[in-house]
Amino acid sequence: MENRKGRAYYETLFCKKIIITLIGGAIIHTTPHFYHLYHPIINCETNQILGFEALLRSVNEPNPLIFFKNAREEGNLINYDLESIKLAYLKMKTETVKSFINVFPMTILSDQFINLLSQFKNKENIILEINETNDDSLIWNKPEFKSRLQSMRELNIQWALDDVGAGQSSLQRVLEFKPDYIKLDKYFSAGLSHSKQKQRVISFFVEFCREENIKFILEGIESRNDFLVAQQLKVPNIQGFYFGKPSSGMNLYLEVKNND
C-alpha cells in the first residue's frame, strides 16, 4: 500500500472462479467474466473504513451503463443482480466492515431474492443499495415491493437509497420508505468548497438524517478542499475518488490524512 496526501493506492488480487449455486429451484451461475471493483466509504469521525461498495463489472462490456442496459433488454438483469449479491457476500463475509451491494428494484421482487438472503450469515454487514432507474420507477408503488423491504428488515439486512437528489421522486421515497442509509448524489459534492448553496443543502441532510436516525453518506468527494468542507459540515460518511478509485482489492487499513 502507498499513501500520498490523503489518496490511497491499493491493489490486492481478487480470485475469480465459477460458482454454481442452487437457490429456490433455479441454478445461478457466477462466471469468470464477472467481477467486482471495491470502492471505500470513509467514516469522517474516525477517519477509518466504514465499508466498501461492490461494483459489478464485466470483461465483455467495460461500460457498466451499457452492460446493465443490455442485461435488461436480454432479460438477464435479475440473474446478474443475484450473482453480484452472492459473489460480493462470499468475498466480504469474513470481513468486519460493511459491504454495500447494488441491486435493482425488479430483483427485489424476484422469487429467488429473499431465498438467497436468508442463506447468509453476518447479515448486519450487508447493505443493499437500491438503484433508482426510470425503468423501475413504478415498482416502488407496488405493495409487494414494500413488503419485500420489510422482509429484508426482518432478516436484519439494511438498505440504502442511492443517488438521492438526482431522481425526480427520491426525496419522496426517503420520507415514505425511511431507508437505513441515504447516499446523496455526487452533484452536491462537486465544487462543494466553493458553493454555499450546496453546503446548505448538505447541512440540511446531515441534520435531517440525524433526527430521523438515518445514516448519511455523501458521494463524489474528489478533492482535499471538498473533503475538509464536508468534515466541517459534520458529514458522517463520505465516498469518492479522493480516497482512491475503485479497485479489485480492499485496503482495510486505509489512512486518511487531513494535513499535507
Q: Is 202 within the bounds of a domain?
A: yes
pLDDT of residue 252: 63
Q: What is the pLDDT along the chain (260 residues), one digit of tens a residue?
A: 333 333 333 222 233 333 333 333 333 344 447 889 999 999 998 889 999 999 999 888 889 889 999 999 999 999 999 999 998 988 887 778 899 999 999 999 998 999 999 988 878 899 999 987 778 889 999 999 999 999 999 999 999 999 998 876 688 899 999 999 999 999 999 999 999 999 999 999 999 999 999 999 999 999 999 999 999 999 999 999 999 899 987 776 666 655 44
CA distance 3 to 163: 29
- In tens, the pLDDT along 198-228 reads 999 999 999 999 999 999 999 999 999 999 9
CA distance 58 to 78: 15
CA distance 243 to 228: 13
Q: Is 258 within the bounds of a domain?
A: no
Are 216 and 184 within 8 A, CB to CB?
yes
Q: Is 248 within the bounds of a domain?
A: no
Whether this model's pTM surpasses 0.75: yes
- In tens, the pLDDT along 82-123 reads 999 998 988 887 778 899 999 999 999 998 999 999 988 878
Q: What is the CATH number of the domain that holds 212?
A: 3.20.20.450
Domain residue limits at 30: 2-243
Q: Is 55 within the bounds of a domain?
A: yes
pLDDT of residue 131: 82
pLDDT of residue 192: 98
Grid-cell match 438467497, residue found:
116
Are 145 and 114 within 8 A, CB to CB?
no
pLDDT of residue 221: 97
pLDDT of residue 95: 78
Q: Is 250 within the bounds of a domain?
A: no
**Comparing C-alpha atoms, which of 102, 96, 19 is closest to residue 54?**
102
Q: Is 96 within the bounds of a domain?
A: yes
The total number of structural domains in the chain stands at: 1
Are 140 and 161 within 8 A, CB to CB?
no
Q: Is 251 within the bounds of a domain?
A: no
For 161, residues 6+ apart whose C-beta sits below 8 A from its C-beta are 130, 132, 170, 173, 174, 177, 179, 181, 182, 183
Q: Is 161 within the bounds of a domain?
A: yes
3-state secondary structure the chain: CEEECCEEECCCCCCCCCEEEEECCEEEEECCCEEEEEEEEEECCCCEEEEEEEEEEECCCCCHHHHHHHHHHCCCHHHHHHHHHHHHHHHHCCCCCEEEEEECHHHHCCHHHHHHHHCCCCHHHEEEEECCCHHHHHHHHCHHHHHHHHHHHHCCCEEEEEEECCCCCHHHHHHHHCCCEEEECHHHCCCHHHCHHHHHHHHHHHHHHHHHCCEEEECCCCCHHHHHHHHHCCCCEEECHHHCCCECCCCCCCCCCCCC
Are 44 and 217 within 8 A, CB to CB?
no
pLDDT of residue 220: 97
pLDDT of residue 255: 60
